[in-house]
Structure 1
Amino acid sequence: MHSSPQQLISGIKQGLARFKPYFRWLILGATLFFIATVLHRHWDEVKTLRIDNWQWLGMSLGVTLLAHIWTGWVWGWILRALGQPASARWSVLVYLKTNITKYLPGNIWHFYGRVLAAKQAGMPTSAATLSVLLEPLLMAAAALIIALLNVSQNWGLQLLCLAVVLMAVHPSVLNGLVQLASRLKGKAEDRSQVPTQISRYPWLPLLGEIGFVTLRGIGFLLTLQALQPIPLVQFPIVFSAFSIAWLLGLVIPGAPGGIGVFEATTIALLNSHLPTSVILGSVALYRLISTLAELIGAGLAYWIDRAEA
């Protein structure tokens, strides 16, 4: 007896679901093994690193915290582009409170928290869900645009990926995909079940996400400066490498918050431009600074909510 297309698709989904946990561990294990190998090889150099300019790390923490506040504001722009009345204050506070949960297993709880908060604020589930799908796509496009600062690194592949992402967020393409997903789920054809659509190209949110990735890159550059002064001519290389590493940490499954993937990619891309020991020290410090900024942001958001309750 021949299987129907629906049964075939269902079987593929079940197979992928069974393999997914192992794939995540494979990604995490491979990246951690790479980092551990490089660290072991350059441990004597790492031990000699000294932080003489702590103010650079303080500025990095401040800029990274500002980046998270800024992207929470941009998430509000995305919701308003979908016709939802999201205030800047509300979107920033929700974003900061949920952002830290991305480190939980599954790497989806920050999205779930934002969708839940939007529903509690009276927004349709379809609009909230589409907003958290649009956000990483726009972030990916922003990272690819900034990565083109260093055109010597696979610029053809970067341009192709950028074109695909920019096309994916075009209203005619995105709305078509949303409608297709809605039909596949078998939703009823009544007004309450009509999926949310985007009416125009999200240029403003895209510019906002470019600002977010730029702020994150500045934070990483300031961390590098704390260990070794970076000449101006190398700024585009650092920004490009950071953007690619951050993007891979965003899109590769099995790495909550990009842990391991970001560090391994940064080491691989900058190894021929900076001392390996400096890169190792910088990625470790920046991971600490980034996590601390997210904790401070979440703490501030909860404190503001409690103070005004």
Structure 2
Amino acid sequence: MTKSNLRKALNYSGSVIAILSVIFVGHRITQYWKQLPDDTFTVKLLLLILLLAGVYGAANTILASAWRILMVGQEQAIGNRVATRIYGMTQLAKYVPGNIFQFAGRQILAMSYGFSGKAIAKTTFLELLLLIVTGAVFILWMLPLLYPAFNIYYSLLLFAIVALLITYGLQQQGKGNLIKVIARYFSFLLVSGGVFVSVLYIVSDDWLLNPALTLPLIGAYVIAWLAGLVTPGSPAGVGVREFILILLLRPFFAEIDIVIAVVLSRITTVVGDCFFYIYSITLR
């Protein structure tokens, strides 16, 4: 097989995975929709969900930017537009059962662009490792939910210390590019947690955001997201994330509000991923 034919075959394979991803996303949205009471949706709520989905979809460009930095670190000359296109076209594959097809799709599609398969595999490993490290630090934000005497100020102080230690350690090893990557992952997780907390407050009719509770809620969401990420076979953490959130937040919110917020936030993030997908396929 010639190099040109190999690239075409890889491109077609990536397209098949992308099409399967869209099918599974449609199936997921239908399932989530059926779980909600008939009187849940109002015009105001739908507009807010679309707005939050837009915010979440835009935040995906942060992930694509971080991946580009990792690729450049592996001596792959990749531009922002190409990185965003590849990342966005394959990101929906995380909803396909198996929880690996977003990485497989990215590997195939990026190779069809002529990038090194070995370098792409290394960036996948680094991405998972750094996402886990970044997400795990958010447990410090969540501590006030588990131990009320441990207030948010102590959490933020510990968080700052850990962040400084990580930054210092990477600088000493000459890994300044990884600091940029972690900063982007932190920003993405912060936005993701903020989207969930916004949906939760909307559902519970409590518009008075309490900073002492908001940051721990974001921390709880990120930890639940992390658990879903590392659970083998769970597409986009389905089931795992919901279970942990209900377990952690039950003492603070009515269980029905938590369930509705979890389902609505799922719909919001899925729609946001679709927005990002549509945006990515327009990039040439």
Do the structures match in fold with TM over 0.5?
yes
Q: 2:182 aligns with which of 206, 211, 231?
A: 206
TM-score w.r.t. the length of structure 1 is 0.66
Over residues 71-128 of structure 1, what are the superposed CA-to-partner deviations in whole Å (9 max), with x where a residue is unaligned? Answer: 1121111111222212111111111110111122322111012112222222221110
Partner SS state of residue 81, structure 2 = helix
The structure with the larger Rg is 1
Structure-2-length-normalised TM-score:
0.71
User: Gaps (5+ residues) in structure 1?
Assistant: 1-38, 174-197
Instruction: Decide which of 84, 88, 97 is 2:89's aligned counterpart.
Output: 97
Following superposition of structure 1 onto structure 2, how do residues 1-309 of structure 1 map, counting pairs within 5 Å?
53-54=44-45, 55-152=47-144, 153=146, 202-228=178-204, 229=206, 230-302=209-281, 304-305=282-283, 308=284
State the alpha-carbon separation in 2 of the partners of residues 51 and 140 from structure 1. 37
Which runs of 4 or more aligned residues in structure 1 lie more than 4 Å from their structure 2 counterparts after TM superposition?
46-53, 169-173, 198-201
Shift of 1:47: 7.7
State, as a whole percentage, how many aligned pairs show the same letter: 23
Query: Deviation at 1:146?
Result: 2.6
Contact persistence 1:107–1:257 (CA under 8 A): yes
Shift of 1:294: 1.3
Provide the C-alpha distance between the structure 2 equivalents of 1:100 and 1:171, rounded to a whole number of angstroms: 34
Question: Residues 224 and 245 of structure 2 are in contact (CA less than 8 Å); yes or no, is this contact kept in structure 1?
Answer: yes
RMSD: 3.1
Distance 1:47 1:208, change over 3 A: same
Aligned residue pairs, count: 231
Q: Say if 2:73 and 2:177, in contact at 8 Å, map to a contact too.
A: no
Which consecutive unaligned segments of at least 5 residues does structure 2 have? 1-34, 151-157
Work out the CA distance in 1 between the residues paired with 2:62 and 2:233: 26
Q: CA deviation at 1:296?
A: 2.2
Quick one: distance in 2 between partners of 1:71 and 1:57? 21
**Amino acid of the structure 2 residue aligned with 1:276:** E
Which residue identity does 1:255 align to in structure 2? S
